[in-house]
Amino acid sequence: MPELPEVETAARDLAAHVGGARIAALQHLDWPRLIAPLDPEGFGAAIKGQVIQRVSRRAKWLLLELSGGLTLAVHLRMSGSLFVPRPEERVDAHTRLVLALSDGRTLHFRDVRKFGRMRLLDAAGLAALDAAHGPEPLADAFTPACLKGILRGRTTRIKPLLLDQSLIAGIGNIYADEALWHSQLHPERPADSLRANEVQRLHEAIRFVLDKAIRLRGSTLRDYRTGTGESGENQDHFLVYGRTGAPCGRCHTALIRCVVAQRGTHLCPHCQTLPPARGSARTATPRAR
């Protein structure tokens, strides 16, 4: 799932709904690896009675700051969601963990594929998590010059670079494809081959697609839910992701799907072209006709 806009939406909802709430107990856990290396007893003891003082996001991590000084860091990975369900909502087969709150409500972690993880971090652990990630693309500090600096000297293809959390935080497969379409860049362009105006376009596109997705409360393809258990709306606004064969919104050419760095990749073959590699002009095999 869950890329920056989805995690941001969940964080904002949870801040509004469980900020200040007290955790009464670990009520349900059916996937112990979720909280490893702690065992259910140790985890339960550590969170019992803690007040959720603040909820925030760093990269694709949800951060629940607890009154005792520890932070419950939650990564949703592919199919996780963390939400306060409506009172009548039941624990289903994919609900991996339930925290009982002292006001009678519950906080559900649901995760079909069981890839999600929770960790209890002290200040040093939190600092390490922060240091492992690149800048937040929606922060003021993320300027075109900042992006240019990240690309400089890197010969890797631009799409996998955008997915590298240690370089830029929070972009995943959907928003990488969307941002590259908006900036009319081929996903296999070498990162350091972008001209100044292309870097500028990419910078603007990244911020545009992420901001728009947050305004629409994230994208729900299958499993993602906001912090209140609702679906997002942004999936109805994709320009390329998952739209193979549909007409490009700029030129009406049929969009294509290919694989780049082992990830399904969607693009317009007319708007997003790969310039000939340097030196290949004279050596390339002439095409037919």
Partner DNA sequence: CATTACCTGCAA
Partner DNA sequence: TTGCAGGTAATG
- Per CB under 7 A, residues contacting DNA are 1-3, 6, 33, 59-60, 75, 77-79, 93-94, 112-115, 155-157, 160, 163, 165, 172-174, 218-224, 257, 261-264
Residues 6+ positions from 253 with CB-CB distance below 8 Å: 247, 268, 269, 270, 271
Q: CB of residue 179 vs DNA: minimum separation in angstroms?
A: 13
Q: CB of residue 173 vs DNA: minimum separation in angstroms?
A: 3
Nearer to DNA among residue 237 and residue 263 (C-beta)? 263
Residue among 6, 18, 124 nearest 75 (CA)? 6
CA distances to 23, 54, 98 from 44, rounded to whole Å, are 10, 19, 11
Nearer to DNA among residue 44 and residue 160 (C-beta)? 160
d(CA 60, CA 57): 7
Q: CB of residue 67 vs DNA: minimum separation in angstroms?
A: 27
Greatest alpha-carbon span in the chain: 75
Which run of H or E residues covers position 288? none
Nearer to DNA among residue 101 and residue 185 (C-beta)? 185
Q: CB of residue 60 vs DNA: minimum separation in angstroms?
A: 4
Nearer to DNA among residue 25 and residue 261 (C-beta)? 261
Nearer to DNA among residue 166 and residue 273 (C-beta)? 166
Q: CB of residue 88 vs DNA: minimum separation in angstroms?
A: 21
d(CA 203, CA 156): 18
Nearer to DNA among residue 155 and residue 283 (C-beta)? 155
Catalytic residues: 2-3, 60, 263
d(CA 102, CA 23): 6
Phi and psi angles of residue 92, each rounded to the nearest 5 degrees, phi first: -100, -175
Q: CB of residue 61 vs DNA: minimum separation in angstroms?
A: 8
Inter-axis angle of helices 144-151 and 196-215, nearest 10:
120
Q: Angle 77-80-86 (CA atoms, 0-180°, nearest 5)?
A: 155
CB 2 within 8 A of CB 80: yes
**DSSP per residue, 102-155:** TTS-EEEEEETTS--EEEEE-HHHHHHHHHTS---TTSTT--HHHHHHHHTT--
